[in-house]
Amino acid sequence: MSQRKYNTVSLIRKKRDGKSLSSDEIEFMVRSYTDDEIPDYQMSAFLMAAFLRGLTDGEAASLTKSMLHSGVVLDLSHISGKKVDKHSTGGVGDKLSLILAPIVASCGVPVPMISGRGLGHTGGTLDKLESIPGFTVDVTLERYLEILKRQNMVLVGQTEEVAPADKRLYALRDVTATVESIPLIAGSIMSKKLAEGIDALVLDVKFGSGAFMQEHSQAMELAKTLVGIGEEFGKRTIAYMTDMDQPLGYAIGNWLEVRESIDALRGGGPDDVMEITHLLAGTMIHLGGKAGTVEEGIDQSRGAIQDGSAWKKWLEIVAEQGGDTKLVENPGIYPAAEHVKDVKAVEDGYISAMNAYEIGMVSLELGAGRRAKEDRIDPAAGILLKKKVGDRVKKGETIARFYTNNRNEMDKSEHFFLNAITFSNTKPDKRQLITHQVDTNGVHPWNR
């Protein structure tokens, strides 16, 4: 039996001392943990050793493979068309999946999307979707395939059968400060995406204060690793490097972000949200074979918003997965958080920085995220920004509105939020939102 093959403590020690593990040894760790033969505390020690010592490319590939094969690898060949998915490395206010999945599906490309929950300061697509009353993200594999076939898209969480090792490791990393590691992130993302049975993948790799890899150079390494793994497994994979130095859009928090996504699908999305959405959606449409170039794909993506087809697809998927479509059509009737507070500027000037990590943590404390694995999310909690970087404000002007059902968090949160904002007398230079495209041919600056 696998648990007798190696001594777990010896493998932890080996990694702790900076040595490389064989693919068999990595497979042993992943399989034994998934089968409950290694306890959380030993896996936590191993993860921390891997975090601090790093993994070689070979170890990262073995990790991805072991996690991928810890469950079923779906075969979607009976569904016609090239199946394309998108994944983000995680950010604050990043609600793009909710907008682009219906766009791409309505343009004829099947989107078999399996998403995650919030991790650390970042939000998760599943938590956002679950803020819609009735919306079910936990489905059986059979139901997953049925939804995908009927709707040309699906928005669910990992079933027990799909990459179960990642599901467990992801939750453990979240609470052991072992998220921000290139090989661990790459293994986590690619194992679940490859298990979906996709033909191609578009990746949104974030850099800046709200990203797991804050340094552009580190995020670029992650992008190259992700693309390398995807291509090694025979999937066309394109990544974009996008700025997460301030939150994306204006809404942070689960229902607030669904609401902003509804506005976006109806043609009223914020510029930054729409710029990245159309790029990622356009690339998916291109990789799905429905557009000759990314630019043509972007045109189709814009068209799907303008002619209402993406909105129609959104209503269909909400209904299919049990969500309350009346509420989605009339978001104003959603039960508001009990406590609402306007946060005011403490000085005159331009907002020159908004630390997305800190703001994500404030939103978490207001109730929109989890401090521990078993915490419950408050769907109505979060922050609605009224101002963003580059805006000029007067002292006393509202820069954000807080929503929470936990009154105790309000004052402390306001203090932390204001600490996350930098004011200056001069207008800051505009940062480039999308800097590079990374594909199998290399790194291409993105100036379009």
Binding residues for ligand URA (CB under 6 A): 89-90, 116, 119, 170, 179, 184-185, 188-189
Helix axes 57-68, 182-195, angle to 10 degrees: 30
Phi, psi of 199 (to 5 degrees): -100, -30
Residue 174 beta carbon to ligand URA: minimum distance, rounded to whole angstroms: 9
Residue 123 beta carbon to ligand URA: minimum distance, rounded to whole angstroms: 11
Residue number, 184 or 337, with CB nearest to ligand URA: 184
Residue number, 185 or 380, with CB nearest to ligand URA: 185
Residue 46 beta carbon to ligand URA: minimum distance, rounded to whole angstroms: 15
CA distances from 218 to 75, 93, 158, 179, 214 (A): 34, 21, 28, 14, 7
Residue number, 191 or 413, with CB nearest to ligand URA: 191
Residue number, 138 or 295, with CB nearest to ligand URA: 138
Tell me how far apart the alpha carbons of residues 264 and 282 are, in angstroms, rounded to a whole number: 16
Residue 231 beta carbon to ligand URA: minimum distance, rounded to whole angstroms: 19
Residue 97 beta carbon to ligand URA: minimum distance, rounded to whole angstroms: 12
Residue number, 188 or 404, with CB nearest to ligand URA: 188
Tell me the Cα Rg of the chain.
21
Q: Is residue 309 within a helix (H) or strand (E), and if so which, with residue range?
A: helix 309-320
- State the catalytic residues: 87, 166, 173, 188, 192
Please give the residue whose beta carbon sits closest to ligand URA in the complex.
Answer: 188
* Residue 249, Ramachandran bin (φ over 0: left; ψ between -120 and 50: alpha; else beta): left
* Residue 90, Ramachandran bin (φ over 0: left; ψ between -120 and 50: alpha; else beta): left
Q: Using alpha carbons, select from 227, 223, 247 the residue that is nearest to residue 236.
A: 227
Residue 75 · residue 191 · CB < 8 Å: no
